Structure formats: structure tokens, C-alpha cells
Structure 1
Amino acid sequence: MRSLDPRLLDVIERYVKPKTNGIGRYLHLLHANFARDDERERTLFLQSLHSAAQTITDEELEVLLGGEWRSRLTAAWLIAVDRRQHFRDVLGDLLLASQLCYSGQGYCFALARLCTQEDALHLAAYLERYLQQPDRQYDQRWAISALLHIDSRAGSEHASRFLAPGGLWHQWNDAQFRPSPPSRFIDDLCALTDSLE
């Protein structure tokens, strides 16, 4: 077994593993579990996340983005909370590569929170590729929700081509074990994060 970079281990200890209400930060972020907490617990967690996002350096974020899925998921959320626009293309490339499970949730949220046309193009490229692969259930639901969020904020219609009757979203969704309509849950997550500002 190869040993992990000591810098990565240090940054993981400080930003990925810290506990709020007895649960590590990355577990709160996974599937946005924190959103299901009661208001007091959710507020404590979001305050901790906001503080960490303002404290972590770009170099430390780069170290986390080179790590495993927990590190990447956490880094993406910290980038999102602090709206570090200069990570946009890195996040877009990592999303498209889809190398590790769960981390794509964070990339989608971060791109939604950055909320520009460039972010929409990264999400659209991801959907164009992975909606054509119905046997792969990755982060398509997160990506369509993120794209819908950007469209609603920017007055654009990037998601419409995927959501048109018979479009790629419907083809992919209909092939899933549990088909479901596209959801706007990213709107709610952005609103919760915005409440810290």
C-alpha cells in the first residue's frame, strides 16, 4: 500500500475530517446530508464550513483536489462557499473525467454557485457525455439541477435541450432503476449557503 503525501494528510485532518455534531465534515457534505439536519445543527455546520472556506489556501485546495473522493468533495464545497472562480476549469475538467465516486456532487454544486455561462458550459459538456451512457448513474441528477440553477439565475436555457421531450435527459432517466423528474435541489443548497453571507 502506498503512503499518502504528508501534506495531503495534514490538510485532510484540518479540513475534511473536522467534526460537527460528532460527524466528519465530508459526511455532512456527501449527498448534502447537512440539509436534513435541524436548523441549529445545520447552522453550526454551515458556520464551520464558511470559516474553513475563508481560511483554506489555494495551495491546500489544490492538494485536496489531488486526493481521494472525500478530499475532492470537501475541496469543491469549500471552493463553492468562497466562490473561488479561478478553480472553475479545474472543477469542470474533474467533473468530465468522473474518476472518483461522489466527488462530482461537489463539482456540480461549485459550478452552480459560481453561476456563470462558463460554468453552464462545463455542466452541459458533462451531461452531453454521460446522459448518453444510461448504464452509468454518476452525477447526472446533480448536473441537471446545477444547470437549471444557472439558467434560472442567468436567464439562459442551457438545460432545455436536454429536457426537451425525447431528449437525452428523458432517455437516460427512463433507463434508470428509479426514474425521477429533474429536481431543483441545488437552488435550495445555494440558498442555504447564501444565508451565511
Structure 2
Amino acid sequence: MHHAHDESELLKLIRRYVAPGQRYLKLGGSLLGMSDRDRATFTRKLGRAAGEISSRELDVLLGGGWRERKTAAWFIAVSGRTEFRERLGELLLASEGPYAGQAYCVALATFGTSADSALLAAYLDRYLRRPDLFYDQQAALGALLLLDSRLGAGHADRFLTPDGLWQQWVDGPPGKDRDSPDVYAGFIARLCAVADESAGHVRARRWRRPTLGSG
């Protein structure tokens, strides 16, 4: 249950962190189409904001709508706050709203551990069995493949067997594109690279990104 003071704080956080320059709209594929100059400006501001926002404020944003959750997930990815791993996994699995799931996948991919692979695999186990739903299956598979390549693991293999869950999902309604799974891994890798660029501008040292495999 939300109280008036909670809603007031959320609105303040939206004005400070989510709405400026319509940040929430640019967090995703739009980043990859920016000019070098615009991207440098954006990542600098994103990194600074990710370092300024507190964990409690991130928690408030994660309790908001898709715009707030998407922005919070990117802040979490940029600042490497692995304490939010389980929360992001729960939000991804619940899939209660649109547009934020890709950001959860990016954050889990930046954390870079087998625990993150497990959360992505749990999502795929549930939602690849629903070919009628077009949620964040592509982003989740891309993130899992990216982690497999970095960790030398094969967690995505069971989904990609002939006539396996991935193929069943692709073949089911509604019509879905048939890009190679590696295309989705490459897309998530490019978004993670943007998160890495932004991480270089995080000023609060206590939020420095953990190294791959830690956290």
C-alpha cells in the first residue's frame, strides 16, 4: 500500500532521475543509434546519476511503473549494485509490466556470475513455454548466451537443442523474427558496453562495479 509521502518521494525521484531529457526512453536500443558526441554526454550524465542515487531511492523506483523500473535497473547495472540481483530476477520473472525486462537482463549480464545465469535461465524456462507471449525472451537468451561466453559455461545449450524450447517459442504465435540467437547476444553485449562506459563516470567509489565473476 502506497502512502502520500511515498508517492511524493517517487514523484521527486522521477523528476530528478527518470524524466530529465526523457532518459527513460533512451535507455535501450536508442543508445546505439546516438552520435559519438551525444552518447558521450548521455553516458557521463547516466554514470553520475547512478553514483548519486541511494539504494533506498533505487528501491522506491523499483516499486514504481515501467519507466521508473527501467531507469533504476540501468542505474543498478552502471553502479554494479549486485545486492539488487534477486530483486531484478523476481521482477523479470513476474513480468508484471512492459518495457523494463530488457533493462533487467542488461543488469544481470553486467553482474556476470553464474547466479545471474540461473535467474535468466529460470525466466526462459517459464516463458519459452508460452509461445503466445512475446515478452523479453530474446533479451534473456541474449544475456544468457553472453554470460556463457564470458564464463565458459553452457547454460543456454538446453534451450537451443533442435525442436527445443527456443525453437518452439519462435515457431509459435505471434509471428516472431528469426534472427540467430547470437544476434541477441551481440545486442545485449553492446548495451553492456554502454553500461561500462557510464560506469567510468560513477563518482561514488563505494559503488564501483565488481569484476567479472565477483558479487
Q: In the alignment, is the contact (CA less than 8 A) between 2:43 and 2:197 conserved in 1? A: no
Q: Please name the residue that 2:55 is paired with.
A: 58
SS in structure 2 at match of 1:195:
helix
Shift of 1:173: 1.1
2:93 paired with 1:99: no
Which of 176, 189, 192 does residue 190 from structure 1 map onto? 192
Q: Please name the residue that 1:26 is paired with.
A: 24
Which of 106, 115, 118 does residue 115 from structure 2 map onto? 118
Shift of 1:32: 2.7
Higher relative contact order (CA 8 A, sep 6+): 2
Residue type of the alignment partner of 2:14: I
Q: In the alignment, is the contact (CA less than 8 A) between 2:74 and 2:195 conserved in 1? A: no
What is the rounded CA distance, in whole Å, between the counterparts of 2:19 and 2:29 in structure 1?
A: 16
Residue type of the alignment partner of 1:79: I
What is the rounded CA distance, in whole Å, between the counterparts of 2:36 and 2:175 in structure 1?
A: 33
What is the rounded CA distance, in whole Å, between the counterparts of 1:51 and 1:173 in structure 2?
A: 39
Deviations for 1:152-185, whole angstroms, at most 9, x for unmatched residues? 1111111111111111111101224133222221
TM superposition outliers: structure 1 runs of 4+ over 3 Å: none
2:160 paired with 1:152: no
Equivalenced residue count is 191
Percent of aligned positions with the same letter in both sequences? 50
Between 57-66 and 43-52, report the one with greater CA deviation: 43-52
Which of 140, 143, 147 does residue 140 from structure 2 map onto? 143
Q: Please name the residue that 2:79 is paired with.
A: 82
What is the rounded CA distance, in whole Å, between the counterparts of 1:45 and 1:39 in structure 2?
A: 10
What is the rounded CA distance, in whole Å, between the counterparts of 2:194 and 2:107 in structure 1?
A: 14
Between 185-194 and 8-17, report the one with greater CA deviation: 185-194
Residue type of the alignment partner of 2:103: G
TM-score by length of 1: 0.93
TM-score by length of 2: 0.85
- Where in structure 1 are there 5+ consecutive unaligned residues? none
Cα RMSD, aligned residues only: 1.4
Q: In the alignment, is the contact (CA less than 8 A) between 2:18 and 2:24 conserved in 1? A: yes
What is the rounded CA distance, in whole Å, between the counterparts of 1:15 and 1:32 in structure 2?
A: 19
What is the rounded CA distance, in whole Å, between the counterparts of 2:160 and 2:140 in structure 1?
A: 13
- Where in structure 2 are there 5+ consecutive unaligned residues? 201-215
Q: Please name the residue that 1:48 is paired with.
A: 45
